[in-house]
Structure 1
Amino acid sequence: MPRKPRIEIPGCYHILNRGVERRNVFLEPEDYEHFIERMCSYAKELGIQIHNYCLMSNHYHLLLEISRPVLSNYMRRLGMNYAIYFNKKYRRSGHLWQGRYRSWYVTDEAYLYALMRYIEHNPLEAKLVKQPQEYPYSSFHAFLDPTRRPACLQHSVILQDYGNDVQAIKALLSEPVDHDQLKELKKASAMVEAPEEKKPDEASLKRLFDNVDEIKERNRRILQAYQQGYSQHRIARVLGLSQPTVHGIVKRMKEKRAIPIT
């Protein structure tokens, strides 16, 4: 029975693929570099934006954005090219990848920024490094070193938001990963079939915090803004706070009011 075609709607996707039987697919620095080069080359050809990536020894994560249905084409070319390169170099034959890549549609900014930290923290959780930015085959490392930064990251969300502000990038991506939050956001994402993109009314959000000096009132309005549909990241930007700080405030305020956390 033929496999169902993937539904590709414009927006951001979290992509994951592993080596067959979880075997290593990157053995030497040259292998990682070849994959990144092809990743960027095909992205440029197809008009795909790369936001984050992390290549581990037996799998990889990508956070990318499409404006038209080219994702399957992109992933097929990337996977096939690298498999040919790898099999020829190491004199092997057969499948390199465990199967079709897995993908999740990113529904909102909260999910987007949670995924960024999750992807960049893979080497840390695998105990390969003491700080996530130390890992050489991730976008975090590339963000901090413009001389080694792949061209396909130039228009990533991180660089759009923070430019070359190294300290701000470190502060954002070094925050601990809230796995419970990520799980809830991923669950919500799975329930969305074809979301319509909405441009947040940031002016209204700013007005909500006009003349607010007391912390308690600020926190109350943070919860109010979140329940009105503003993402935690956008609230954080308007207030000059970190997104994890806003998440903590929302969580505490909901607990005080005995509101289930979603």
Structure 2
Amino acid sequence: MKLYYTNERYANPLICPTSDVGHLRVFMYAKCMPSRKITFAPGEYYHLCNRGLDGRLIASTDREYARLLFLIVFLQSTRAYSHPSREVSDFIKTGKFLDVAEEQLIASERTVSLVCFCIMKNHFHLLVREEIDDGISWYLQRIENAYTRYFNLSHERRGHLFQGPFRAVHIETNDQLLYTSAYIHRNPREIKKWKDREHLYQWSSLSDYIATKSRWPSLLCQEPIMSQFDNGQDYKNYVSSSIAKLSPEELNELNLSNIGGWTF
């Protein structure tokens, strides 16, 4: 199993074969040969992420988080939106963007299927399935370009917001799929306020996985993950028990201090 980034500057780790630690499946990281451009294929799953240029913040207010969330959720199709600011305002007030009928239209024209996501203050993570050729490239280009225009206008700045091309990992096994979902959903634990309360973090899809009803039932493709669990609580327990995103101190307590990962 190999991990390829979309740019040579990210020629860092690759995911090696898993090893068992008790009942945990651990994805270990190591140095890899020079990166090459990843090839996306319809029907395949990918872990995507990007961060702010030089680690800068990409979101610091609810409106900025909601704007990026809107783009991530609703740009899964090629449909255009003329009033995203209104949709964002509605979300901040009501917790909802569009009506069910609009969601179903988007779902019927998907270029990618969004499985899970998490937006942090200086980076984001997505787990998606490509549905058509070049779907992922088109999806990320639209998200990053649209959000950068919005952010630059709001902050009276110019230039790039994100640190180069997005990173991408091809998900090759079911274990990797489940682990990646936990890795993404455990990101908020890096913030003291949200440690062990990740399920309450509204800028992540974890709450949609454990709730009785998702906020976007037509637009969040939960079946690949949830078909393997009895219910939302069962999945929550899986995420809570995962070693993904543990601190060096916590890993050391488990005698796993040699395991690393992305520094996002």
TM-score normalised per structure 1? 0.62
**More strand by proportion, 1 or 2?**
2
| Structure 1: tracts of 5 or more residues without a match | 187-262
Letter in 2 for 1:135: Y
The equivalent of 2:40 in structure 1 is 8
Whole-angstrom distance in 2 between the partners of 1:65 and 1:107: 12
Alignment deviations for residues 81-107 of structure 1 (CA, whole Å, 9 cap, x no partner):
111111112222111111100001000
The equivalent of 2:205 in structure 1 is 139
> Do 2:212 and 2:232's aligned partners in 1 also have CA atoms closer than 8 Å?
no
The equivalent of 1:73 in structure 2 is 138
Whole-angstrom distance in 2 between the partners of 1:43 and 1:157: 17
Whole-angstrom distance in 2 between the partners of 1:161 and 1:149: 21
1:20 and 2:53 correspond: yes
User: Residues 127, 100 of structure 1: CA spacing in aligned structure 2 closer, same or farther, 3 A cutoff?
Assistant: same
User: Residues 123, 185 of structure 1: CA spacing in aligned structure 2 closer, same or farther, 3 A cutoff?
Assistant: closer
Deviation at 1:60, TM superposition (A): 0.4
Deviation at 1:136, TM superposition (A): 1.8
Whole-angstrom distance in 1 between the partners of 2:128 and 2:146: 19
The equivalent of 1:29 in structure 2 is 62
The secondary structure found in structure 2 opposite 1:93 is coil
How does 1:236-247 map onto structure 2 within 5 Å? none
The equivalent of 2:77 in structure 1 is 44
How does 1:146-161 map onto structure 2 within 5 Å? 149-150=215-216, 151-161=218-228
> Do 2:178 and 2:225's aligned partners in 1 also have CA atoms closer than 8 Å?
no
TM-score normalised per structure 2? 0.61
Structure with bigger gyration radius: 1
Whole-angstrom distance in 1 between the partners of 2:71 and 2:58: 15
Greater relative contact order: 1 or 2 (C-alpha under 8 angstroms, separation 6 or more)? 2
Deviation at 1:157, TM superposition (A): 2.3
Whole-angstrom distance in 1 between the partners of 2:154 and 2:261: 40
> Do 1:117 and 1:175's aligned partners in 2 also have CA atoms closer than 8 Å?
no
1:97 and 2:130 correspond: no
Letter in 2 for 1:95: H
Whole-angstrom distance in 2 between the partners of 1:42 and 1:74: 7
Aligned length: 183
Task: Provide the aligned C-alpha RMSD in A.
Answer: 2.9
Alignment deviations for residues 53-112 of structure 1 (CA, whole Å, 9 cap, x no partner):
110000000011113321111111110011111111222211111110000100010111
User: Residues 128, 103 of structure 1: CA spacing in aligned structure 2 closer, same or farther, 3 A cutoff?
Assistant: farther
Letter in 2 for 1:8: F
Higher mean C-alpha displacement, 33-42 vs 77-86: 33-42
User: Residues 178, 42 of structure 1: CA spacing in aligned structure 2 closer, same or farther, 3 A cutoff?
Assistant: closer
Whole-angstrom distance in 2 between the partners of 1:86 and 1:143: 29
User: Residues 155, 21 of structure 1: CA spacing in aligned structure 2 closer, same or farther, 3 A cutoff?
Assistant: same
Letter in 2 for 1:104: V
Deviation at 1:129, TM superposition (A): 0.9
Deviation at 1:134, TM superposition (A): 2.3
Alignment deviations for residues 172-198 of structure 1 (CA, whole Å, 9 cap, x no partner):
222222577xx7999xxxxxxxxxxxx
| Structure 2: tracts of 5 or more residues without a match | 1-6, 8-35, 79-109, 246-255
> Do 1:15 and 1:61's aligned partners in 2 also have CA atoms closer than 8 Å?
yes
1:167 and 2:200 correspond: no
Alignment deviations for residues 97-153 of structure 1 (CA, whole Å, 9 cap, x no partner):
111000010001011111111111111134341322122211112323456623421
The secondary structure found in structure 1 opposite 2:124 is strand
The secondary structure found in structure 2 opposite 1:86 is helix
Whole-angstrom distance in 2 between the partners of 1:99 and 1:178: 25
User: Residues 34, 114 of structure 1: CA spacing in aligned structure 2 closer, same or farther, 3 A cutoff?
Assistant: same
Deviation at 1:160, TM superposition (A): 4.2
> Do 2:47 and 2:127's aligned partners in 1 also have CA atoms closer than 8 Å?
yes
> Do 2:45 and 2:130's aligned partners in 1 also have CA atoms closer than 8 Å?
yes
Higher mean C-alpha displacement, 66-75 vs 97-106: 66-75
The equivalent of 1:176 in structure 2 is 242
